[in-house]
Structure 1
Amino acid sequence: MGRVRKSLIVGVLVVAVVGVGFGLYWFQPWKLWQDETVDEALPVAVGTSAPPATADPSAPADPSATPGPRILARGELISHEHDTSGSVKLVRLADGSHVVRLENLDTSNGPDLRVWLTDAPVKEGSAGWHVFDDGRYVSLGKLKGNKGSQNYAVPADLDLTQYSSVSIWCDRFDVSFGAAELGQA
């Protein structure tokens, strides 16, 4: 074999190995077989998961003194790029903060999944896959798990009247895995 031919073969192998490595990093196909379950309780206030301690734990609770969480809007997730189910709630907590709560979420795992609060209408089928980045949206953070119930804090300065849906958004491929239209609770 000639020197040029060996160099060509080595060059092709190097490009192939780099290409496979990049493809594995970009698509992360192993996530299709990995589930991550997160089961969080509804917080009392953003950043908490348990009720605040009282001075006298034996004293009866005054229900008017500490209003509980209130559901402002809700919706059911529909599938887009991947089979997705569960429910979404926009909840006002006792301290006045808000969270988006995903309950009984079941979707595929994927690279770079986010929870987005958006102003886009939820459309069935492939017509709804790419609409959520066309208008106003805010990322509430990375999806904590592709299964279970979890909470996402809403920024305090956000005008919630400007947002009407929630999407499980794959930021890497600009596609919705699933979404829910938020209706009055």
Structure 2
Amino acid sequence: MIDWPAEIERTPEGERTRNKNFKASLGSTTIDLSTEMGRLEPDNWRASIGNQHTKSNGLPRHNAKPDDPGFVLRWTKDGEQYAVACDAYDRLRDNVRAVYLWVRETRLRGNRPVRTAESEFAAARLPSADDVAATDQPHEVLDVDPDATESEVRNAFRERAKHSHPDLGGSVAEFKRITGAKEAMIDE
């Protein structure tokens, strides 16, 4: 299952278009993207597609054909989390290529002597766990009563962690969200 960021709206399936501008193959695009991420020098990065036909970093194999053509790229740099995603096209290859081109063009802007108030990747920055936790009540995040016992809170956390832990294919942001909710409810 694709690890789509909650902050990014999906393109309805019927509105995805055929792209005729990208000539590169999926295999060459994933090589280009991997090279580009090396130039960006993130602390870590991972891709996500709609099936398990991927390489160890989550990039699709050259013959991947998931039912969901969406593509997500997440990375961490200097303690900040970033994510970019594309599902505007009806083929995985084109969505991966669009993400690659965005990352490349954005990184290249950082090589110019022009200065702005934000980093060139500010648009891709995800909200911190503190920002996300402030929008939901902890008991709502864990789907327990506001006066749930410590045992009930821990059990609810464990159930959610099975699906949201990054080591199990979940999202870092969601795992931080449920961890923050658990800690708020049991005063850890």
TM-score, normalised by the number of residues in structure 1: 0.25
**Structure number with bigger Rg:** 1
Q: Which has the higher helix share?
A: 2
Q: Work out which structure has the larger RCO, using CA pairs closer than 8 Å and 6 or more positions apart in sequence.
A: 1
- TM-score with structure 2 length normalisation? 0.24
The structure with the greater share of residues assigned to strand is 1
